[in-house]
Structure 1
Amino acid sequence: MTSSIAAIHVARKQLDLDEDVYRAKLVAITGKSSTKDMTESERLRVLDAFRKAGFQPAPGRKVADRRKLDGKYAKKVQALWIAAYNLGVADDRDDKAMLAFVKRQTRLDDTRFLHHADDARAAIDGLKSWLKRAAGVGFGNTNGQDWLAADGAKIAWAQWRLLNPGADLIVRKGFDAAVYEMIGSRRVHLGEVNGAEWQTVMNALGERIRARKAELGRGVFKFEATLTEAGWKFTP
């Protein structure tokens, strides 16, 4: 069972939906009565609808009460931290964990104190180095692929390679089709996918990575950060 299907089942119990009402809602949202027949983007639409109806995810995943971060570099640092969470290298996406990382890198207690470029660079470059080392994110180098110019594309591609050992820029193992399915729209070229859509892709792939980690066992799972002909791969 995928993590999105499991979350829908939790939402159903929390909202106290009987079988007929539950199936009717699924059909109203996606046109399908079973989560197993849905695409990942459709399941995410169901979860979004259930949240609007009152479903509250587990406290560890709840982000609505998170305070707004201050500082000119806060959004960039936060985006990279969420990327670390979606790549499976950070176990906690909470801002407190992110700020602890920032303090280790800069000795500053909050992103609002990142006034100087040197301090911001220490935090941002530290995060990028971690993501490159731990999950193979290729920051800076597009390898001649224009669609990889955006950081969101780089992170999503690294996620895909972690989930699909052996995928490369020639044999992508269904990456393009998966991206179009997750954003619910076909594009002529991956370069047409915008930043918000890459975020949708990263979040969806992050769910799959965390589900894979859970399957392999917490504390046992790790990424093998060694590039081989087979690509980045999971090592239990």
Structure 2
Amino acid sequence: MSATAMINIAKNQLGLDEDTYRGMLHRVAGKVSLREMSEADKLKVIDDLKQKGFDPAVKSPSKGKRKRLEGKFAAKLQALWIAGYNLGVVTNGSDEALIAFVKRQTKLDHVRFLHDPADGYKAIECLKRWLNRAAGVKWAKDALVPDWANQPHGQIVLAQWQTLTKAGRINGESLSETVWSICGYDGKPVLNNLKPKEWQTAMNELGRRIRKADRP
């Protein structure tokens, strides 16, 4: 495991918020970004985190798998709803809140929009329009951007980055560098190589930062 990956695991294990984390990096290594550090700097950071209680042998606690809604269109609707939660426009990420929202917007019973193709399409498009309007997600394909930026996960991450930029929560790193680091990688980012689970990890972490920025 790389030093960068271990530091990110330690950050999560110890529950360090972004300000505390950046302050610790500066105190230990004189830098606020892992990208700027040498390998020796990173090892100093790991030693400091161990003194604070980080145990590399402890696995991250399993949160259990989220029970999926049933129906042909359930997974897509749930993915869009969680994206809204990670974009800061959904305050309740539960399936019950998802069903209530779609019912209000479409007047459709959830049995219909989870199973019927025409109604499922209406519900999905309803959520996509809302995320575009409320969070600036741009769903249209663009031939001038990398492949990852034309995928739903990339489109959501770009909107998350825009939200964090507007909130003044970007600390000098680029979007690519930040996503690469969240996923535990060193070196030059190659986002087209990331797997779906890694994109989800990135969206969840950026969502956590957005929700933290929204708190007074």
TM > 0.5 fold call? yes
Distance 1:32 1:178, change over 3 A: farther
Q: Quick check: 1:78–1:98 contact (8 Å CA) kept in 2?
A: yes
Work out the CA distance in 2 between the residues paired with 1:73 and 1:149: 21
Q: Quick check: 2:138–2:155 contact (8 Å CA) kept in 1?
A: yes
Runs (5+) with no aligned partner, structure 2: 1-9, 17-44
Q: Does 1:212 align with 2:213?
A: yes
Q: Report Cα offsets for 1:39-87 as digits up to 9, x if no partner.
A: xxxx9x98x93525xxxxxxxxxx7585431001100000000000000
Q: Report Cα offsets for 1:68-125 as digits up to 9, x if no partner.
A: 3100110000000000000000001111101111212343443575322221111111
Q: Does 1:202 align with 2:203?
A: yes
- Equivalent AA in structure 1 for residue 205 of structure 2: A
Distance 1:103 1:201, change over 3 A: same
Give the corresponding residue for 1:86: 86
Paired residues, number: 171
RMSD: 3.5
More helix, by proportion = 2
Distance 1:106 1:7, change over 3 A: farther
| 1:13-24 → structure 2 map (5 Å cutoff) | none
Give the TM-score normalised by the residue count of structure 1: 0.61
1:143, distance to aligned residue in structure 2 (A): 5.3
- Equivalent AA in structure 1 for residue 138 of structure 2: G
- Equivalent AA in structure 1 for residue 191 of structure 2: L
Runs (5+) with no aligned partner, structure 1: 11-29, 38-42, 53-62, 218-236
Identity fraction in percent = 38
- SS state of the match for residue 59, structure 2? helix
Give the TM-score normalised by the residue count of structure 2: 0.66
Q: Does 1:74 align with 2:66?
A: no
- SS state of the match for residue 61, structure 2? helix
Give the corresponding residue for 1:142: 142
